């Protein structure tokens, strides 16, 4: 629990249709304690429910870290049951972000370690500063990843990279993370915010129902077989023909003008 005098562990701000969610414990390198996980979950519930929000950027406060992991001080005295519950609490929050119908971009401004990399991996895109370092160092604490790291890293970067990162526990730099497919882009640290916001604005201007359909297909397809995935895609594709935005997008192309999407 945070007392009323503590700064909020998560802050939110809007820039046009982009909601920026910031983990705000810079003196602890934005480590995720239970209160921070709950505040993040509430921030995602609100962003998803807010009609004015079309894209979400997730980042960490301060110059050093995105998130340096789950809070080691809090975990130090956990029982097995508390450990399981903490894992479920983080997994629930990260699953909510992953299944968000609005696109979520992780703006990785520094260390993304342990729970921090897990948090970045539940986002739909990851843009990293060239100074960022990412890893799953839990093994050095006698632990394993507990917020989906073994599962999402496996799906994102494959078995070899997952076993290397989780078993050896050594962080890697942004360039290697890019080569392994763990992040989508690496940009100079000074340009991180501008470049991330440009991508977020592009997504905010895109047809919301098509964005949602794409996210749904990739989420569902990543967790089922090819036949079911193709069937789901065909159903979603068909659904697009019931939208105003599909008429607008195709008409704008034929009329050689820019589309104006309404989200209907």
R_g of the chain computed on alpha carbons: 19
Contact call for residue 114 and ligand COA (CB under 6 A): yes
- Taking a C-beta distance cutoff of 8 angstroms, is the pair 75, 32 a contact? no
For residues 72-111, which are near ligand COA according to CB under 6 A?
72-73, 111
Residues with Cβ < 8 Å from 197, sequence gap 6 or more?
15, 18, 57
Rounded to whole angstroms, how far apart are CA atoms 249 and 233? 19
DSSP character at residue 27: G
What whole-number distance in Å separates Cα of residue 53 and Cα of residue 47?
Answer: 6
Q: Does 31 bind ligand COA (CB under 6 A)?
A: yes
In angstroms, what is the minimal distance from the CB of 151 to ligand COA?
A: 16
Strand 18-23 and strand 10-15: pairing? Answer: antiparallel
Least CB distance to ligand COA at residue 134 (A)? 11
Least distance from ligand COA to the Cβ atom of residue 84, Å: 15
How many residues line the site for ligand COA (CB under 6 A)?
A: 17
Task: Say whether residue 60 binds ligand COA (CB under 6 A).
Answer: no
| Tokens encoding 172 | 């890697």
Binding residues for ligand COA restricted to 134-153, rule: CB under 6 A: 137-138, 141, 143
Count the Cβ atoms, other than its own, within 10 Å of residue 257. Answer: 9
CA–CA separation, 95 and 8 (whole Å): 22
- Name which position in 29, 129, 166, 182 contacts ligand COA (CB under 6 A): 29
| Interface pick for ligand COA out of 44, 57, 71, 112 (rule CB under 6 A) | 71
Cβ burial 163-199 (10 Å sphere, 16+ → b, else e): ebbbeebebbbbeebbebebbbebbebeebbeebbeb
**Active-site residues: which are they?**
118, 138
- Is there binding between residue 112 and ligand COA (CB under 6 A)? no
Which of 70, 192, 207, 210 binds ligand COA (CB under 6 A)? It is: 70
245: contact with ligand COA by CB under 6 A:
no
Tell me the closest approach of the beta carbon of residue 1 to ligand COA, in angstroms.
17
C-beta of 141: minimal distance to ligand COA in Å?
6
3-state secondary structure of 61: coil
Which residues bind to ligand COA, rule: CB under 6 A?
A: 28-29, 31, 68-73, 111, 113-115, 137-138, 141, 143
């Amino acid at each position: 629990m945070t007392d009323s005098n503590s700064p909020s562990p998560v802050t939110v701000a809007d820039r046009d249709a982009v909601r920026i969610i910031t983990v705000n414990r810079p003196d602890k390198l934005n480590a995720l304690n239970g209160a921070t996980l709950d505040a993040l979950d509430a921030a995602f519930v609100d962003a998803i429910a807010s009609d004015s929000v079309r894209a979400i950027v997730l980042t960490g406060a301060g110059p050093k870290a995105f998130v340096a992991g789950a809070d080691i001080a809090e975990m130090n005295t956990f029982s097995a049951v508390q450990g399981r519950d903490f894992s479920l609490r983080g997994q629930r929050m990260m699953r909510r972000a992953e299944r968000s119908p609005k696109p979520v971009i992780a703006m990785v401004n520094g260390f993304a370690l342990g729970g921090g990399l897990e948090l970045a991996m539940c986002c739909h895109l990851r843009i990293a500063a060239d100074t960022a370092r990412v890893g799953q160092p839990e093994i050095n604490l006698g632990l394993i990843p507990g917020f989906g790291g073994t599962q999402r890293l496996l799906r994102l970067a494959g078995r070899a990279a997952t076993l290397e990162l989780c078993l050896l526990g050594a962080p890697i730099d942004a360039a290697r993370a890019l080569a392994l497919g763990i992040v989508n882009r690496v940009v100079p640290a000074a340009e991180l915010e501008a470049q991330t916001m440009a991508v977020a604005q592009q997504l905010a201007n895109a047809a919301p129902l098509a964005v949602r359909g794409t996210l749904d297909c990739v989420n569902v397809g990543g967790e089922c077989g090819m036949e079911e995935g193709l069937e789901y895609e065909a159903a979603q594709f068909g659904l697009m023909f019931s939208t105003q935005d599909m008429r607008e997008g195709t008409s704008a192309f034929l009329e050689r003008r820019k589309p104006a999407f309404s989200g209907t």
